[in-house]
Structure 1
Amino acid sequence: MAEKTLKPGLKVLLEYGPLLVFFVAFYLFKDRPVLVAGTEYKGFIVATAIFVPVLALATLVQWRLSGHLSVMQIATLVLVVAFGGLTVWLNDPTFFKMKPTLIYLLFAGALGVGLMRGKPWLKSVLGDALPMSEQGWMILTRRFVGLFLGLAVANEIVWRTMSDTAWVNFKTFGLTAIMFAFVLAQSGVISRHGISKDDDDAPRA
């Protein structure tokens, strides 16, 4: 299937829409437990049960429209289905709360292995959107490794010490805001090491 570029608005909707669905579902059912086959499921579990198929559908739509999914998207979907399924099946939110930690550690580990081999694998994910020199990609990749490790630690602290509501707010807005601020903070590296698409090696003056 040939790869296609999605419109920015549609891409954002497909990537962040499921998270907003989870957020809304949690608050809708937070104080309204659902009884299924004699078992009571609280708002967090209900929201998780809604989120998993919505994310799977959004990922499928993105693949059908763009003809491509990144390794990160595939890994995220697999972990969401696995840990979301365990959360619903065992009626225990712990598994779903641990999922971001494992995702961030997986990303940090994968990028770290690439760095040890002298290969900035982040380039394979963002290279088309951010043309940069190899030195720039090495710097940016190291910073992303640090970011993912920091996010993993932050997620562990929040879910282990705070309420379900606090974690949902942190997951929906906190992690997204941190990621957005981090990307904005990399503008200096991107500017210094950016190259034109016609030249893979020459940095801009």
Structure 2
Amino acid sequence: MSDASKRHWVRWFVDYSALAVFLVAFFATGRDLQKATWALVAGSAMALVVGLAVERRIAPFPAIAGGAALLFGGLSLIFHDPRVLKIKPTVMNGLFGAALFGGLLMGKNPLKLVLADAFEMPNEVWRTLTVRYGLMFFALAALNEVVWRTQSDATWVLFRFPGLMILTLIFTLTQVPLLMKYVKAEDMPPPPTE
């Protein structure tokens, strides 16, 4: 396995393993949210350790996500209150949306800082994409509030993972036509020869 391929799988592991462990633990323990939260906290810590061991660093986004899982999960366990864990997606998505709009208000473009290596786009297109993603994060925050307040724990757990990931992927796919206009030519795969 090449180093790039290994890093790709490690990133997936770091990003999603703790949520997968949480999902499995929830249903394996008879839908015990407290025990599943212990699994989430342990899984988040393990994912960060694996990421550090393999990549020799902790990437910013997994560090934020893992740190938030440890913080909210830990507080949920300390206070014996699952609501603390349930508001994590609301808080995190709200913060991501606020960061994107805050960056725009300060004349910066946070998405351009992250994605500029892959796309050469005019500033107005970066602004459009940033606004769309900011609105998506706020929508996901609001949707999380509706789901955890009106649905069963089992429904919320499935919404949390894989639901939020699927919704984010679907939204990202709707942005592909805009992005494809500006993808750098050297990043495009070669055309088929047959």
Where on the TM-score scale, by shorter chain, does this alignment land: which range?
A: 0.7 to 0.9
Q: Is the 8 A contact 2:73 2:85 kept in 1?
A: yes
C-alpha displacement of 1:45: 0.9
Alignment of 1:1-205 (within 5 A): 5=4, 7-30=7-30, 43-128=32-117, 130-135=118-123, 136-196=125-185
2:144 counterpart letter in structure 1: N
> Which deviates more from structure 2 when the two are superposed, residues 46-55 or residues 98-107?
46-55
In structure 1, distance between residues paired with 2:166 and 2:10: 20
TM-score, normalisation: structure 1: 0.80
In structure 2, distance between residues paired with 1:69 and 1:134: 31
Gaps of 5+ in 1: 32-42, 199-205
C-alpha displacement of 1:70: 4.5
Q: Deviations over 1:42-87 (max 9, x none)?
A: x101111111121122123223433454544333233222211111
In structure 2, distance between residues paired with 1:66 and 1:138: 32
Q: Is the 8 A contact 2:15 2:62 kept in 1?
A: no
User: What is the aligned length?
Assistant: 183
In structure 1, distance between residues paired with 2:62 and 2:102: 19
Q: Is the 8 A contact 1:131 1:196 kept in 2?
A: no
Higher percent of residues as helix: 2
Q: 1:175 to 1:104 in 2, by over 3 A?
A: same
2:104 counterpart letter in structure 1: L
Q: Deviations over 1:68-115 (max 9, x none)?
A: 545443332332222111111122110000011000011111111111
Equivalent residue of 2:38, what SS? helix
TM-score, normalisation: structure 2: 0.84
Equivalent residue of 1:186, what SS? helix
Q: Deviations over 1:138-163 (max 9, x none)?
A: 22211110110000000000001111
Q: Is the 8 A contact 1:132 1:190 kept in 2?
A: no
Q: Is the 8 A contact 1:104 1:152 kept in 2?
A: yes
Q: Is the 8 A contact 1:133 1:195 kept in 2?
A: no
C-alpha displacement of 1:20: 0.8
Q: 1:68 to 1:146 in 2, by over 3 A?
A: farther
Gaps of 5+ in 2: 188-194
State percent identity of aligned pairs. Answer: 33
Q: Is the 8 A contact 2:7 2:55 kept in 1?
A: no
In structure 1, distance between residues paired with 2:99 and 2:153: 30
